[in-house]
Amino acid sequence: MSAQHKIGPGWREEVWPKRALLALSAACLAAGALTWLANRPDLSSWIWGVGTAVILASLVTEIGTNLARGEFGLDLIAALAMSGALLLGEYVAGIIIAMMFTGGESLEDFAQRRARHELTALLDRVPRTAARFTGTQFEEVAIEDIEPGDRIFVRSGEVLPVDGRLAGSSAVLDESALTGEALPVFHRSGEYLMSGSVNPGDPFEMVASRVANESTYAGIARLVEAAKNAKAPMSRLADRYALGFLGVTLLLSAIAWALSGQATRALAVLVVATPCPLILAVPVALISGVSRCARKGILVKGGGALEMLARAKTVVLDKTGTLTDGRARLLETRVRNDLGPQEVLRLAASIDQASRHVVACALVAAARERGLALSSPSELRESSGSGITGRVEGRKIAVGGWDFIRPLIDDSDFSREIEIWIRREGTVAVAVAEDGILAGAFLLADEVRPEAGTVLRQLREAGIERIVLATGDRADIAKSLAAFLGIDNIVAEMKPEDKTRLVETERRAGPVMMVGDGINDAPALAAADVGVAMGARGAAASTEAADVVILVDRLDRLVSGVRIARRSRRIALQSVYVGMGLSVTGMIAAALGYLAPVEGALVQEAIDVVAILNGLRALAYPVRRWGRANQLSQQELQELEAEHRNLMFVIDEIRHTTERIQHLPEPEMRQRLADLDALLRERLLPHERQDDCVLYPSLRQRLGASHALAGMSRTHMEIQRQVHLLTSLRQAIDSAGPNPQQLYEIQRLLHGLEAVVRLHFAQELEIFRALEGE
């Protein structure tokens, strides 16, 4: 019979005494059996009685301690059963009860340790000291003594003690404990590093940005500690039911004794009665779900948050940083006819390396995504928030907003064209000048996450009934999103207090989940039944206010969290219904005389084991229709995504060629089309053939469906057809150059090709992520 046991920060110290008691009860049972076989029943009874008394004394002490703390558990049933066995001379039943009791506690400890493994692993990695530079040497100091600006030396195998920025040229970090990503992450000089990451490579230097208590890992550790100690409403409800169960048990045992006149029947009822499905299986199932979420980079602050995540009916989504990426990303480029878009981006990013402005960082990121080699700038002068000037490879480069660049350049048809082109709603424009002449401009915007549509659809499939978009943007911008995302309601131009009122209003239809990332979302996150913070780049205030923190910058992990939560709650309820049903059936059988005390003890422990093991099912992965062996690993998914990123510059070249060919002289136009044709045949078509001949057959074999991805293969055929058509149209141009109809046909073809390839890449990414394994 298992006891109710609360696990707190000092739970490890309680394990060894319980194992000692289990060993003692097992030894007494074995020794008594041997003496009984040696025809010494008096000695065997004495051994069994002493073993039972020792365990009973320990249990009574524990019950007294719990009562002194104001806690009342169902260990009383075990104490009554052992006491009754001693009084009635049922010594073999008593020692079996004692061993089952201590064995149940050990099984519970194992279940809780197994369920909390990922959470405990996070806490165990907290660094204590760090190597800080002092002059030309470094000294080992406590992490509490590190201040922002201190230069830290991180050795191979060490855990980063505080948040900071990389001072060396590059570093490779293992961030799996923080984000759930299995592969090491490559960082370049100046990039932000999270405390709690492990350095598996060469030593490097970093500059601290925060003190230890304010760093990422310290915040996560606090959340983990709260998650370990939090108790779910479902568990508290189980406690109330368990008290009722105690009353039923005592009443049934009294009735059995009164009607039969046999005290052993009352003892059998006490022995077989087990509240384990209520007081153990429920928390084991919920904390197993919490632990499994941690593997996916989702930190749930305890079983209560997991339970509310499972019960949510309405989702209120913030827009910026949640439904959208939250960062400016390069959308379009327009450059002078004599310059290439990649070259203009390279020059702009080379200058912007020296700026910490968010738009400058976005351009640098865009250049690095395209594999451009950036040069070191010199003679830098930055006008805060407006722009920056300097020299790159001997050329004077200026990068900034139109108001910053306009006075630095000569007036021209191209500059007037760009001034009109950049007036696009919802975008940020960056212009680039080279030696006093406008080189080109970029349009950047915060785009909707590519997985947003799939995530919303999967949320509905998981049981979410209503999806609401809450944003501080204008209503027209918000409605443009809802038009293609399938959102039930849009509330725009909101302030933080408005979001809180919206949460209260939506609660009338059922439990509300609020998802956000900014400081302005913190009040609504705290007010919701369950608040979910996008914590990878979100504000600390939202992370602290939320009940669930998604540590990776992926919205689809929200769906994973909901699915895990619903499955864990379903398993917990199964344990309660099935386990309590078996327990009550056994009690009735004991009351009617069908189970002796010894048999009842064995039946009771079997029910305990079944209930706990069923609760641990929440820790395992559900069996998908195609099985785990047929899913894509994280490494395979990341490799496929990297292939698409490496081909994005090809799609950019299709657009730039489409826009420029009508302005180019005839020889340059021919060369431009020939270069694009060669690029498509050297980079794009081999990729599509590789997918069709190698990747798709592999996926079909994994899925066990020979016709799977047939529509995607048809798109490959269309891409190849259009590339061949481009070759034919290009070769049909005579020596006089293309006529207007030929130029129109080529531009129409290129516009269509760009749209097909972009859509095809997006569709493939959704399919790949749907096949991603746990």
Classify the phi-psi angles of 710: left when phi > 0, otherwise alpha if psi is within -120 to 50, otherwise beta.
Answer: alpha
Q: What is the DSSP string of 296-360?
A: TTEEE-SHHHHHHHHH--EEEEEIIIIIB-SS-EEEEEEE-TTS-HHHHHHHHHHHHTT---HHH
CB atoms within 10 A of CB 44: 23
Q: What angle, rounded to 10 degrees, do the helices at 263-272 and 233-260 form?
A: 160
Residue 485: name the closest of 566, 563, 561, 555 by CA: 555
Residue 760: name the closest of 601, 655, 666, 647 by CA: 647
Among candidate residues 163, 174, 239, 318, the one labeled active-site is: 318
Terminal C-alpha separation, the chain:
35
Give the count of alpha carbons within 13 A of 338, CB side only. Answer: 5
Q: Which residues, including other chains, have CB under 8 Å from residue 561's CB and lie 6 or more apart?
A: 293, 296, 298, 300, 309, 532, 548, 550
Strands (E), 387-456: 387-392, 395-400, 428-434, 437-445
Beta bridge partners of 131: 140, 153
Tokens representing residue 468 in the block: 């609401």
Tokens representing residue 534 in the block: 């996008």
> What amino acid occupies position 636?
E
Alpha helices in 125-189 (DSSP H): 176-179
Measured distance CA(34)–CA(42) in Å, rounded? 12
Q: What is the DSSP letter of 384?
A: T
Q: Is 124 a catalytic residue?
A: no
Task: State the Cα torsion 677-682-686-688 to the nearest 10°.
Answer: -40
Beta bridge partners of 490: 469
Report the catalytic residues.
318
